[in-house]
Each structure stands twice: as C-alpha cells, then as structure tokens.
Structure 1
Amino acid sequence: MNSSLGAAAGMLPSSSPPVPAIAATVAATVIVFVLARLYYQRRRSDNNNKSGGRLPPGPRGLPVIGNMHQMLANKPAVFQWLHGLLAESSGDIVCVRLGPVHVFAVSCPEAAREVLRKKDAVFADRPTTFAAESFSVGYRSVSISPFGDQWKKMRRVLANDLLCPATERRFRATREAEADHLLLRYVHALCGAAGGVVDVRHVARHFCGNVIRRLTLGRRHFFFGDSKAGSYGGPGRDEEEHVDALFATLNYLDAFCVSDYFPALVGLDLDGHERIVKGVMRTLNRLHDPVVEERVEEWRLLRKAGERREAADFLDVLASLDDAAGRPLLSVEEIKAQTIDIMIATVDNPSNAAEWALAEMMNRPDVMRKAMAELDAVVGRDRPVRESDLGELRYIRACIREAFRLHPYHPFNPPRVAMADTTIARYAVPRGSQVILSRVGLGRNPKVWKDPLEFRPDRHLLDGAGTVSLAEPELRFISFSTGRRGCPGLSLGTLITVMLLARLLHGFEWSKPAGVDKVELRETATSLVLAQPLVLQATPRLPEQLYYAVEDY
C-alpha cells in the first residue's frame, strides 16, 4: 500500500514541493471525515439492530475499522486467517467486523442450510463493490448483481432461454466437438504417438475456455489462424490472455479489498486491486466487444427485414430475444455483461477438479484402476466418450465429487448480504451483514466426514444404484450453490466437468514423469490451487485413427 501511494506521489512535479504535502493533508482529512461518518453510522446501525441475541465469537476489533487491520495483515491469504479463527472457536461460525460491515464465516452444514435454504429470501443480496460493478458492466448480469429487478430479469433469461434443456440439447454437438478437438487431437499432438509430458492444468483450463467460447461466441479462436499449434488449434496469444483474464476476474471478484467495506475510498486503490480489475476489463472488452457488437447489429438487420434464423450460440440467443413490443429485450451492455458472467462461471471448477482428481489418482493407483475399468466397461476402446455415456460413469462422477469436496477452487462461496435483521444458529445477524460459507470448512469438516483429508471417492457411492449427482443439496460441501442465488448452470457445468475428466482418462494412460516418485499434493501459499501445475506423462491408449477422425474447426 505504501509503495502505491509513494509511486502516485512521485508523479507530481518536483519543482512544487508543497503540493504533495497539501494533497496528502487533504486526502487524510477526507479519510478521517469519511471514517468518522461511517463510525457514527455504524453506532446508529447497532442501536437500531432488532435481531436480538449476540454476535458469534470473533476477534476484538478497533473503533471505526473493526478488524480491518488484521485483515490487511493477512493479505493476500485472508481466507487462511478466517479459517484459523474458525478452528480456534468452539463453534462453526465466527464474525469479524471490516469497517462498518459484519462478515460471518460459516463452516457447518446446518448453518449453511439455514442461510441458503431456510432463510434464502433474506440472504438473496450481493455486496456492491468496485470489482463487482466492473465485471458486471454496471450490475447488469446475474451472478454478481445485487438483488432487484435487473437481477430478476437476467435470471429469467438464463433459466428460460440460455440454460434451459432445449438450448442444452441444441448445442450438444458443439460441446462434443470441443471434447474431440482438445481432449483427443490436441493432447495427442502434445504427447505424440509414443507418449510425452503434458501440462494438465494448461489442457484443462483451455478446454473450458474453448468450450465456453464456442458456446457463447461461436468460435474457438478469436481470430482464425491465432494458434501456436498449427493445424491442431492450440491456444494463441489472445486465447491465453482470455483464459488468464477470466481467472483473474474470479480471483479478484471477492478479494477482501479495503474499498469493499469503505466505498468512499474507491479511487485511491489502496490495495492495488482497481488497477488489475481495469486491466482485466480492457482485455475482456478488447476480445468480446467486437464480436458482441457485430452480432447485435446482425440481429438488428434481421429484425428490420422481418427475418429470423436459428440461434447458433448463446450470443445469438441473447441478441434474438424480443420484448412484448417486438423490440430487443436486452441492451448491448446487458449482453456484454452476461457474456462475461457465463464465461467466468464456467472455467474454474471443472478445470480445477480435473487437475486435482488426476493428481490424487497418481498417488492412488487403486482409484485410477477403478476409474479406467469403469470407462472400459461403459465406453470400450473403439470410440470416444460421448455425453450419452456420462450418466453411467458413476465412479468418475464420484471422483469429481470428492475433488469438489476436498479441493475447491474458491475458499468461500460468494458473499450473501442480509436484507433484514435475522439470525444464524441463534446468533444475531444485523441487516447489511455479509455471510460467506467456507468451502474448505464444510468439505473438510471432521464432524461430517470420516478421514476428511483423504481422497476417497467411494464415500459418494453409498446410495446404491442410479447416477451420481455433482450437486450436494445437504451442503456437506459446495459444488454448485443452491437457492435464489444458486448456480443455474448445474447441468451444463456437470456435462463439462465429467466430460473433461472422462476424456482425459479414457484417451490416455497417465503416469508420473521419470524421476518423480510421488505427486506433491500441496496448495499454493495464497490459494487452494495445486502449488505447481500438474505435469504428467501421457500415452495414447485408443486406436490411433480415433485421434485423427475428428474434424477440426
């Protein structure tokens, strides 16, 4: 923070020494005034709290800033601080105060169900932050926007038009074409007929990027010929930047920024987050906007001519929707916002689950053998895995559930904001408080799971026959959230995730590279992703003609 302020001060002319001092004094005065005002607003809010009861345990805070100083001291791994507080408390819920905002962290299924099911209507709001406003293009999309008419409108569009069963069936061929391309042809090109090393994280993330670009924008590459793998269609510079931008969006959306709790400080960029968010949006706008604007214009001309055509992708669906008067239902900005929204909702969980599951299997040959035996029994080796096979792959789905449970991409669910005074687990929750459900605390809770740190897919097969759902309605872990703010793309997310892992396992034999005895299952210091990208030896296991029988795009 000090280096950022110093850099800003260094931009002032050296011939005017009083100016920095005056600017600093004015800024400090403004900050003190804002903090004092927020403090008195906080006092009034406490006095008007009608929820009754007491707050959950938590560290003692300071006047005005609450526990903000502790939060800043633990950046960028704030989630580890909160999980430490949960571990130290006797219960499964703690409360910290970040400026005027109470933040509740929850790690038990009972309290989680109370938030997302029993009192879902109370906790249907989202916080308003600089990152959220930027990534949702002014709160125009579904998952990020606060509760209100705009959110309801876009939620209806997703449920009725974009992610409905009919649209899912229509684009099945597109999804399978991307599985053929990347998870057969491209990986085969990387490892060769005799086998070679493959970066699984690279493959998994770009498969998700390819699928959602094809589904949303109708293209794998932003520009034809933009590929570093020649005819095999590997990601080029734009595709690399696009996937990086989508993951940066996810990493900075709920990143505990100071101005998230003191909105008057937006513009000072005390955390350096605003600069990164603006850079990410420049990348997404550069890549998305020309495609969106061209397609909207195409549909404008079709309307003018009284013509229609079948929607070829999500962008067509959004651009073709009409209101009751026959005018476009969505504005260009709404379409741009929803394009970003659905892309960031697609890339993280499938790629992370596949990488972790494969990493765990390297150290658990028994799990790998069961998965391969299931694939050979259900699919055989004379054709690729198809979507019609996925429901029968019970053990593969159990492996994914176990990866979701033990190795979530995000430490917490996106915050829910209380729209009224209420309670959780008999503790008071003042209006405006934020509740975050700990994916780690739920999935690794020893009160819920036996041997919670062991990768044991069989624990998800206790219900007997029938397909294994990736959803977890009892919230013993979180895969796809539930309730009003739950993920509307459960079916699509399931198809992408199961296809990704199934194709990797079915198409190739995976082993540890020479000289590696054991895959190190270690998380990074500041996130839950595997500390080093998973690099394994891949050897084709299907007839060679299958890898070249697929059509390129």
Structure 2
Amino acid sequence: MCHHIRPKNVAGKHLTYNYYNVTWSQYGPYWRQARRMFITELFSGKRLDSYEHIRSYELRSMLHQLYRVSSARHPVLLKDYLFALNLNVISRMTLGKSYLNESEGAILSPGEFKKMLDEVFLLSGVLNIGDLIPWLDFLDLQGYIKQTKALNKKLDRFLEHVLDEHMSRRVVEGDKFVAKDMVDVLLQHADDPNMEVKIERQGVKAFTLDLLAGGTETSTVTVEWAISELLKNPEVIKKATDELDRVIGYTRWVEEKDMPNLPYIQAIVKEAMRLHPVVPTLVPRLCREDCKVAGYDIPKGTQVLVSTWTIGRDPALWDNPTEFIPDRFIERDIDIKGCDFKLLPFGAGRKMCPGYSLGFKVIHVTLANLLHGFNWKLSNDMIPEQLNMEENFGLTIPKKIPLAVVIEPRLPMHIYSI
C-alpha cells in the first residue's frame, strides 16, 4: 500500500504556525486527533444543525440586500455579496460574532480581511523555487518567504485578539461558561488533560484560520462559477427554476431540509465543481515508501500532485467535457464525497477536507435561493458568448474578472423582508 505525508514547504511553515493546522500537519497522533476533533466535534451533524439559524438569517439578509439594489437595474458584483454572506456565516459560527462588523467592535474591515484571505490562497498556490530546490531557499529569489512572514504577522495579530477575548469570557463566566462557538470548543480541547496530544495556542490559531479560510472561499467561488455557467446556458436556468417552482412554490425561500427534493440543483452544483474545482490541484502529498501505481514505480520521497481540474475535463472520463451539462449527473449517480475519483472537489481519503459537509449545505442552499428569488441577466446587453470565463490560478481558482449581473425579483415582494 502507498502511504502519503505532506511535504514541508514555506506556505505550510509560515501560514499554518509551523504545520499546526489540519491541512499541513503530518500524518501521526497530532493529525489524527485534530481530524477526529473536526469531524466529531466541530462539523458533527448536531453542531452544524445548531448553527442553522445563523446560516438562514445571513442568507435571508443577503437576499434582502440584493432585492433592495435590484430596483435600480444596475449591474452588481455578485462575488461581493457572496463573500460577505460566507464571511458572516463562518465568523459567527467560528468566532461567535463578526469581528468585521463595526457595530461589534471590528478590528478589521471586511475588505482588509478579504485581502488577507486572498493572499493566503494566492501564496499557498504559488510555485516557490526554494520548495523545489531546497539549497536555494535561503536566497528567497521571489521574495516569497518575506511575503508569507509579513502575512503571518497580520493574521496573528487578528487571531491573538480573538483568542484573548474568548479567554477573558471564560474567566468572567467561570463555572457558568458554555461554549457558544467553534473557538470556544477548540480552547476547551486545548485545556483537556485527557487529550492524546496537547493542543497548544498556536494550534488553536491554526485551526481557527483553517475554519475561516475554508469556510469563505469554497462557497463564494463555487456559487459565482455556477451562476456564470448558468448565464451561458439559459435552458439550464429554466429547468432549475421549474424544479424550484414545482417543489418550493412562490410563498417561501428554500431551506436546507428541501435539498434532497431538488436533484437538479444538486446536479448543477456537481457540474460547477467538475468544471471549476475550488482547488485545481489538491494539496501536495509526499510518498513515504516505495510503491507501484498503475504499473509505475513511485520511489519514496516523490511529491504527488493530483490535478482535479484536469480530471474534470478528461474526455476519457466525461462526454463533451468542456460543456456545462448538469443532466449528466441526473443520468448517473456520481458521488462528490471522495468515493468517485473522477470528481474530487474536496479530495479523498483521510486527508480530504473535513469541512465538506458544511460546504455542501451552504453552496446548495445559497445557489437554490439565488435562482428561486431572482431572474438573472448579463450587464450592458452582453450576450452569453461574450462572458469572460478566464480563471485566476492560485491554491483556488476564482474568476479572473468578477461576474457583474443585473437582477430582478421573481417572487412576491413580502418574501424579501428579513
């Protein structure tokens, strides 16, 4: 059997507190404990259900904002609204409040935080010469180490503030303390003397950054790509809205519990993730023993890169691979959780993203409600063939040019109130 570990690199060292997070930590007791904590505690069905009211409120708030700007019939940048939605959802779930909202004592503006997250994903996806040729690392030929260290300082200042505030609440409330958010849960585990491996403060900060970064980028990028593809395929929008009108009707919004009854919406999400995987190349792995794969000898120490972008466009696996055809998933039951290797948006195996269940919930219900609540048109009388579909490559692949759209409500006016 072929076993994999993570390679050591500059991004893992400086952006995850020396490999303290789930993504970059090495396979062993610390990683097993961290993954178990994420799956059974932070992303358990019970805990995610307990936060559904947060996701519902923030989504309704975004739909209300879109309704208000729709009357002007001016183009809106969809990504801005999606990012704010996902950042508010994940910050309230993780941090207990939005530290980016001025009324709640923000220490960063949403714009500053977005810029930091963009830097995290960009620097994590950059090809650093020193990672490939270690003896050149000290020269920092691209200025990459300097950039990652500077970014780490900014992130650390924010995370230290968050942890200090959470720790002070624990002291004030004493025996009456009840965990309200994911940082509270992480700090409780850090203090647990029965933990197999002690979770240090650095680990809590690394896990918190995992939650914030993973929870905003995945949903924002996927929904923007899905709407972009739909605008190029109006017949697909018609099928989706027909399903929504039939199942949901015109008197309410789509709820998370409705999703099993909306197979075509699910097919659209799968097709968007096939053509535009959030992470085009999965986080690298390092082969830790000699093995054989598909007849090839893979020596110990080989860095393994899995290109989900290429797999999703492979004509040997997909008919008409460059075309957006959600129906292909109606005809075939293809799993999206790492069991079907032709579709791996969250990876596979023990190293797959532990937060995929939250990602599914947010992406599906957001896309369903955007299609249910609004009609969509391209700005400035642009025809679908003119829509720019270039990608911006980093650790993730958002659209190079953000999608500008004109929207109009398609439900009764009172539905849009919060």
**Partner secondary structure for residue 333 of structure 1:** helix
CA contact (8 A) 1:195 1:540 kept: no
> How far off is 1:285 after superposition?
2.2
Query: Are residue 243 (structure 1) and residue 114 (structure 2) matched?
Result: yes
Query: Are residue 522 (structure 1) and residue 400 (structure 2) matched?
Result: no
Query: Are residue 435 (structure 1) and residue 304 (structure 2) matched?
Result: yes
Counterpart for residue 163 of structure 1:
43
1:8-33 Cα offsets, whole Å, 9 max, x none, are xxxxxxxxxxxxxxxxxxxxxxxxxx
Question: Per the alignment, do residues 254 and 530 of structure 1 end up closer, same or farther by CA in structure 2, a change over 3 Å counting?
Answer: closer
> How far off is 1:200 after superposition?
1.4
Query: Are residue 154 (structure 1) and residue 21 (structure 2) matched?
Result: no
Structure 2 counterpart of 1:498, from 345, 358, 364: 364
Query: Are residue 415 (structure 1) and residue 284 (structure 2) matched?
Result: yes
Partners of 1:197 and 1:526 lie apart in 2 by: 25
Partners of 2:172 and 2:196 lie apart in 1 by: 12
Partners of 2:7 and 2:167 lie apart in 1 by: 31
Partners of 1:316 and 1:236 lie apart in 2 by: 20
Counterpart for residue 180 of structure 2:
312
Counterpart for residue 7 of structure 2:
127
Counterpart for residue 66 of structure 2:
187
Counterpart for residue 488 of structure 1:
354
Question: Per the alignment, do residues 237 and 505 of structure 1 end up closer, same or farther by CA in structure 2, a change over 3 Å counting?
Answer: farther
Amino acid at match of 1:133: K
> How far off is 1:255 after superposition?
2.1
* Comparing 484-493 and 452-461, the one that deviates more: 484-493
Query: Are residue 270 (structure 1) and residue 149 (structure 2) matched?
Result: no
Counterpart for residue 215 of structure 1:
93
Counterpart for residue 511 of structure 1:
377
Amino acid at match of 2:183: L
Partners of 2:31 and 2:194 lie apart in 1 by: 21
Question: Per the alignment, do residues 160 and 501 of structure 1 end up closer, same or farther by CA in structure 2, a change over 3 Å counting?
Answer: same
Query: Are residue 298 (structure 1) and residue 169 (structure 2) matched?
Result: yes
CA contact (8 A) 1:405 1:443 kept: yes
Query: Are residue 343 (structure 1) and residue 212 (structure 2) matched?
Result: yes
Query: Are residue 288 (structure 1) and residue 156 (structure 2) matched?
Result: no
> How far off is 1:251 after superposition?
2.2
Counterpart for residue 71 of structure 1:
none
Counterpart for residue 203 of structure 1:
81
Partners of 1:148 and 1:327 lie apart in 2 by: 11
> How far off is 1:411 after superposition?
2.4
CA contact (8 A) 1:242 1:283 kept: no
> How far off is 1:284 after superposition?
2.0
Question: Per the alignment, do residues 136 and 543 of structure 1 end up closer, same or farther by CA in structure 2, a change over 3 Å counting?
Answer: same
Larger Rg: 1
Alpha carbon RMSD of aligned pairs, Å?
A: 2.5
1:464-489 Cα offsets, whole Å, 9 max, x none, are 7xxx8543522112212111111212
Partners of 1:146 and 1:329 lie apart in 2 by: 15
Aligned 1:452-463 pairs, distance under 5 A = 452-463=321-332
1:253-273 Cα offsets, whole Å, 9 max, x none, are 142211213344444321222
CA contact (8 A) 1:417 1:435 kept: yes
Structure 2 counterpart of 1:396, from 265, 269, 280: 265
CA contact (8 A) 1:510 1:537 kept: yes
Partners of 2:84 and 2:50 lie apart in 1 by: 23
Partners of 2:159 and 2:410 lie apart in 1 by: 38
Where structure 1 has 5 or more consecutive residues not aligned to the other structure, the ranges are 1-117, 228-234
**Partner secondary structure for residue 102 of structure 2:** coil
Higher helix share: 2
Partners of 2:161 and 2:58 lie apart in 1 by: 23
Structure 1 counterpart of 2:103, from 225, 230, 236: 225
> How far off is 1:274 after superposition?
1.9
Partners of 1:450 and 1:291 lie apart in 2 by: 49
Counterpart for residue 231 of structure 1:
none
* Comparing 342-351 and 535-544, the one that deviates more: 342-351
Partners of 1:496 and 1:370 lie apart in 2 by: 21
Partners of 2:101 and 2:87 lie apart in 1 by: 15
CA contact (8 A) 2:76 2:406 kept: yes
CA contact (8 A) 1:214 1:313 kept: yes
Higher relative contact order (CA 8 A, sep 6+): 2
Amino acid at match of 1:186: Q
Query: Are residue 136 (structure 1) and residue 5 (structure 2) matched?
Result: no
CA contact (8 A) 2:288 2:301 kept: yes
> How far off is 1:453 after superposition?
0.4
- Please give the TM-score of this superposition, normalised by the length of structure 2: 0.91
**Partner secondary structure for residue 412 of structure 1:** coil
CA contact (8 A) 1:197 1:537 kept: yes
Partners of 1:151 and 1:141 lie apart in 2 by: 8
Amino acid at match of 1:218: G
Amino acid at match of 1:252: L
Aligned 1:1-20 pairs, distance under 5 A = none
Question: Per the alignment, do residues 313 and 516 of structure 1 end up closer, same or farther by CA in structure 2, a change over 3 Å counting?
Answer: same
Partners of 2:307 and 2:340 lie apart in 1 by: 14
CA contact (8 A) 1:222 1:239 kept: yes
Question: Per the alignment, do residues 325 and 132 of structure 1 end up closer, same or farther by CA in structure 2, a change over 3 Å counting?
Answer: closer
CA contact (8 A) 1:361 1:367 kept: yes
Structure 2 counterpart of 1:352, from 207, 221, 226: 221
Amino acid at match of 1:132: G
**Partner secondary structure for residue 457 of structure 1:** coil
> How far off is 1:435 after superposition?
0.6
CA contact (8 A) 2:376 2:407 kept: yes
**Partner secondary structure for residue 532 of structure 1:** coil
* Comparing 367-376 and 342-351, the one that deviates more: 342-351
CA contact (8 A) 2:279 2:308 kept: yes
Partners of 2:115 and 2:245 lie apart in 1 by: 35
Where structure 2 has 5 or more consecutive residues not aligned to the other structure, the ranges are none
CA contact (8 A) 2:392 2:398 kept: no
Question: Per the alignment, do residues 508 and 156 of structure 1 end up closer, same or farther by CA in structure 2, a change over 3 Å counting?
Answer: same
Partners of 1:301 and 1:241 lie apart in 2 by: 31
1:185-214 Cα offsets, whole Å, 9 max, x none, are 22223x243543211122222322222111
Aligned 1:66-85 pairs, distance under 5 A = none
